[in-house]
Chains A and B, each alone.
Chain A
Amino acid sequence: MGHSGPVSAFSDPEALADALRATGYLPDAGISTAAYLASALGRPLFLEGEAGVGKTSLATALAEIRGSELIRLQCYEGIDAAQALYDWDFPRQVLHLRAVEAVSGSASSAAADLAAVEAELYSERFLISRPILAALRTPGAVLLIDEIDRADDEFEAFLLEVLSEFAVTIPELGRIVAETPPLVVLTSNRTREVHDALKRRCLYHWVEHPSLEREVAILRSRLPEITASLARQVAQAVGRLREVDLLKPPGVSESLDWARALLALGRDSLDPEIAAITLGSVLKYKEDTDRVRATGLEAILAS
């Protein structure tokens, strides 16, 4: 496709998967193919899935294997171009104006210099790069646009513009084009629908909770001190919890938290008693805790 980003160095998804594994992120076939295609085709990667399935950590791992910076843009309601793209450093502009005035001394010459002073005020010196502009200017960067579903839909239209051209126009400076387009990862927790136009521009991947085997592997690779049997017990119990109809089914980050809590307490096996004490690290709603207690922890822990 003519794109020669650093990741295109990987010849196929399997090579990318190996590199991801080396960073401690364990991808499945879908994730590695999607990530490979995103860099091969130069398209943004749109990740959806339950909270805590590892959408953000994929972006972190991708930045790590590219050996580049992860530039993160956290979306929120009311976010606009000044927070996402660029802004002018107002205090320094004023200081500069005063300095110019002090040096030139008299007001008469100021009129002649007006155009020059104005051009200087809106120059690179006073430009503050926000995440998107920074990503366009950093070769090989990974841009993570986190929780796009929180931003307003007007912001999506704006993003679509930037993501299809990988260029922005600053009225005072002109057009800035990315030499090598950044690898863009968008995540959404699906609290609302994102416009189809934006999704069409992206490669879409729905991130599932990992399989039992993969979750055990994740636990063991992230927490080297965990025993194989405890990792399996935790992964199995979390897997069962996901099948109960909960308000917030636990994600991978919750199983990691749970395993860490058990390790901190010096346990090497999971029994109902210790599970009851540490349940707060997996379930984050009182309703969920009540429901699981009512069903009985033994059923969740039975192997």
Chain B
Amino acid sequence: MRSDASLHGDTVRDGTEILIGFARTLAAAGLRVGPERTATFLSAVDALHASDSREVYWAGRVTMAAEPDDLPVYDAVFAAYFSGRTRLPRRPAARTLTSVAMVMPATDDAPSQGGDEDSGETPPVRAKASAQETLRQRDLARLTAEERAQLVAMLALLRPGLPTRRSRRPTPSSTGPLDRRRTIRAMLASGGEPGRPAHHRAGRRARRVVLLIDVSGSMAPYADALLRFAHVLVRHRPVSTEVFTIGTRLSRVTRALAQRDPDVALADAAEVIPDFSGGTRLGEVLKAFNDRWGQRGTAHGAVVVVFSDGWERGSVELLAEQTARLRRLARSVVWVNPHKGREGYLPVQSGIVAALPNVDHFVAGHSLAALEEMLEVIRDA
């Protein structure tokens, strides 16, 4: 065994470049392979004294694949790379990993952008306004300019109660489990005389809230009010709130909305959003969110609120798959559909049908009152 040690060493030195090339190819195909995983892979090959391709296969698979979805990609890349084929398989939408604000190619079947969003939808039922109905109950899409100004003032007064989570650090409390450390310390201070036992409770910390606001054509009447609503939330909890707009692409508007003046904040946000009143590609945009933000921690343990009517231009299967993924990442998923507040609404749009099984709460969000109710849902989510 020792006799061929030098020979073996040579093979490994020559092989290292090939192996690193393999790791890079996997990264290009969309696997999360960085220097650390590559190094582990090399030491795994070394530990196995890998001489045949099956051993290299397993060494690579256990060190560089990280989830079941990676396995088909891994198998395909392995087969292609080590058989010397040049055309390598690519993960369908791996390109969305490179940049968040990437333009999604418009589909051929999409007619002109804009008004066509409503074409498949029955015209909104005009609500019968009774004398008692307050502005709070009015549909945000049908406000007059004067009412809109009033609503802005009311939104600014909103004091949202937002969700919390248990913190690992307990806080002193008058009841609850014994705080041994503090009790002992008090006893020691009094020379070992038992005093009043101290108690503590699990502390509470703000739970992250992620808002995904659909700004496509069919949601345009609500976009302004929803962004203002998001502004109130961001101002209230700057650290634990994230806001993205979705449509044909994903844009992060948290930073713009963090400014004090709502009008400045909205104007800045509008500059970041390139796809206002465009089409909807919910599945792809949600995938971009999951890949780029959600998976990395933004959605972990968070309450994710999607404001959308569920009109989907892209693939419904992708939307179903990505909402399922979102739900696994997040603490809970709340879907807010302004149209749900309308009389006779049925969740029959293909997008909603696909997303609903993966949604924890499905609520309306068409009026200020509905938004306030929604806040209660978020708080308890």
Residues of A within 8 A of B (CB): 1, 12-13, 29-30, 33-34, 36-37, 40-41, 43, 48, 78, 80-81, 88, 90, 93-94, 97-98, 100-101, 107, 110-111, 114, 117-118, 121, 152-154, 190-193, 195-196, 199-200, 203-206
Contact = CB atoms under 8 A, between A and B. Distances in A.
B73 interface: no
A150 to B, nearest CB: 13
B59 A37 contact: yes
Given A37-B48, A48-B67, A205 B296 contact: no
B98 to A, nearest CB: 17
A111 B194 CA distance: 16
24 contacts: A1-B47, A30-B61, A33-B55, A33-B62, A37-B47, A37-B62, A40-B48, A41-B40, A48-B67, A88-B180, A97-B184, A97-B188, A97-B192, A101-B192, A101-B193, A107-B191, A111-B191, A154-B168, A192-B329, A193-B325, A196-B32, A196-B296, A203-B44, A204-B67
Contacts of A43: 40
Contacts of A206: 65, 67-68, 71
Contacts of B44: 37, 40-41, 203
Contacts of A33: 48, 55, 58-59, 62
Nearest to B65: A204
B54 interface: yes
A105 to B, nearest CB: 12
Contacts of A30: 58, 61-62
A43 B71 CA distance: 21
Contacts of B325: 193
A147 to B, nearest CB: 14
Interface string B40-63: 100110011100001100110111
Given A153-B300, A154-B168, A41 B184 contact: no
A239 to B, nearest CB: 19
Secondary structure at the A interface, as helix, strand, loop or mixed, is helix
Nearest to B58: A33
Interface in B150-168: 165-166, 168
Contacts of A29: 54, 58
A204 B54 contact: no
A205 B62 contact: yes
Residue in A110, A118, A193, A203 with the greatest tally of chain B CB atoms within 10 Å = A193
Contacts of B61: 30, 205
Contact of B192 (A100, A195, A205): A100
Interface residues of B, number: 45
A53 B37 CA distance: 26
A7 B233 CA distance: 55
Contact of B188 (A81, A118, A191, A199): A118
Interface string B245-266: 0000000000000000000000
Question: Would you list the 9 A-B pairs with minimal beta carbon distance, nearest first?
Answer: A33-B58, A40-B47, A110-B191, A90-B180, A203-B62, A101-B192, A97-B192, A34-B62, A199-B66
A30 B48 CA distance: 13
B77 to A, nearest CB: 16
Contacts of A152: 165-166, 301
A97 B32 CA distance: 54
B302 to A, nearest CB: 10
A12 B51 CA distance: 12
Contact of B301 (A78, A153, A191): A153
Given A13-B48, A193-B328, A196-B295, A94 B187 contact: yes
Contacts of A204: 62-63, 65-67
A7 to B, nearest CB: 12
B15 interface: no
Given A36-B48, A153-B300, A193 B192 contact: no
Contacts of B191: 101, 107, 110-111, 114
Nearest to A108: B191
Nearest to A39: B47
B36 interface: yes
Residue in B63, B166, B178, B193 with the greatest tally of chain A CB atoms within 10 Å = B63
B59 A1 contact: no
A13 to B, nearest CB: 7
Residue in A81, A111, A204 with the greatest tally of chain B CB atoms within 10 Å = A204
A142 B225 CA distance: 56
A153 B47 CA distance: 32
B40 to A, nearest CB: 7
